[in-house]
Amino acid sequence: MGLARPLIMSGWTGVDLFFALSGFLITTIILREEERMNEREGIARFSLAAFYARRALRILPAFYCVFLLSAFVLPASSIFKSTVSRAASDGGTGLGFIPYGSFWSNYFLAYGGRLAGHPVASAGAAFTVYWSLCVEEHFYLLWPLFLTLVRKRRTRLAVAFGVCLTLPFLRALVYGLGWESSPENIYYVSHYRLDEILWGSGTAVLLRRTTPAPLIRRVLLVLVLAGLVVLAQTRQLSITPAPTVLGASLGWTLLALGASLLITEIVSAPTTILARILELRLLRSLGKVSYGMYLLHFQCIDLGMRLIAGTRLPPTLLNFLGLVLFFVLLVYAAAWLLHQLVERPFLIIKERYLSDRAQ
């Protein structure tokens, strides 16, 4: 476990990498739709309503299926009690779940509070994970609307990268001066984290017309990775224990910037070994059910722990890798079922009725 510990403890960085990737993909979809010119009017077309309809069909069915199961069905079983909300023990009612079901739970996680006089449900691990989905949803509300209002490429780039350069200083200022009661507040709430998605969004806008020279993008990528290594080795870039001011400001920025530079490399040089690896069928299969894996992984961890309860294995690297494989397969199986039974029918509707505007 000693050699594997640094890798395990850095698993939280996947959220930061996904933020940048999500911003890039969503912005690319919007820009491609804009480029479908209306031949008669000669102007770019983008339907905000169709965009939100596609996002709703992609995100909401699986989310509400897992959300309702975790809130009202799984608590009946002792297997899943450590992953579900504990509203009953806190004297709350069903109203305490509303922040989680309406994508504002990251603010309630950070600041607590009551809703209509009812305590907001205390979140178990399976509900706490929704904070990152909340940040994504808030991005979906703001960025596509901005793109419909602002057409000039230079203005889009200026705003995107302006926010990207401003928010790290805001995090450092707020953290350093103690304006937030806890570093977790800075980690969870959207107005401190949207810059990480915007790094990917700005990269998408940039790459539609510009391809950076190979030397420039690779030197930048190496420098960013070196900076991350230094921050990690000096124990400034983590969430447990809480990051330092430098880790929460520059560190999170470097994670998103590094992911954006990696995306730039893959898009600019699609025949490289890295790009080919990402096209492997196994990784594409994981990508197809990755959303379900995100929603279900804590529930599956609980189930897996019960299945192997009482099993005594020596703490060897081989046994550790075997356990990792076991849990990955369990989460994948659950996500595959969710995809087949819930996601796929709605994706068919999305493709059938919104395919003319889809990616």
Per-residue pLDDT of the chain (359 residues; tens, 9 = 90+): 444 455 555 667 889 999 999 999 999 999 988 887 554 455 556 788 889 999 999 999 999 999 988 888 887 777 776 676 544 445 455 667 788 889 998 888 888 776 656 666 666 778 888 999 999 999 999 999 999 999 899 999 999 999 999 999 999 999 888 888 787 889 999 999 999 999 999 999 999 888 888 899 999 999 999 999 898 888 888 766 677 889 889 999 999 999 999 999 999 888 888 888 888 888 899 999 999 999 999 899 888 888 887 778 787 888 888 988 999 999 999 999 999 999 999 999 988 877 644 43
224 lies in a domain?
yes
179 lies in a domain?
yes
Tokens 């995107």 belong to 160
Tokens 């992609």 belong to 58
Enclosing H/E stretch for 100: helix 98-101
pLDDT at residue 359, rounded to an integer: 39
From CA 336, how far away is CA 290, in angstroms rounded?
9
Q: Which residues lie closer than 8 Å to 310 by C-beta, 6 or more apart? A: none
From CA 112, how far away is CA 118, in angstroms rounded?
12
Q: Which two tokens stand for residue 283?
A: 């990784």
122 lies in a domain?
yes
**202-256 pLDDT per residue, tens:** 999 999 888 888 899 999 999 999 999 898 888 888 766 677 889 889 999 999 9
From CA 128, how far away is CA 86, in angstroms rounded?
12
Whole-structure pTM value: 0.88
pLDDT at residue 114, rounded to an integer: 63
Residue 48 to residues 24, 33, 140, 146: CA-CA distances in angstroms? 18, 11, 10, 10
- The structural domain count of the chain equals 1
241 lies in a domain?
yes
Closest CA to 242 of 175, 190, 197, 194: 175
Cβ proximity of 198 and 165 under 8 Å: no
331 lies in a domain?
no
Distance of CA 185 to the CA centre of its chain: 17
pLDDT at residue 234, rounded to an integer: 84
pLDDT at residue 353, rounded to an integer: 76
Residues of the domain holding 187: 13-34+93-273
pLDDT at residue 321, rounded to an integer: 87
Determine phi and psi for 86, rounding to 5 degrees.
-110, 50
280 lies in a domain?
no
63 lies in a domain?
no
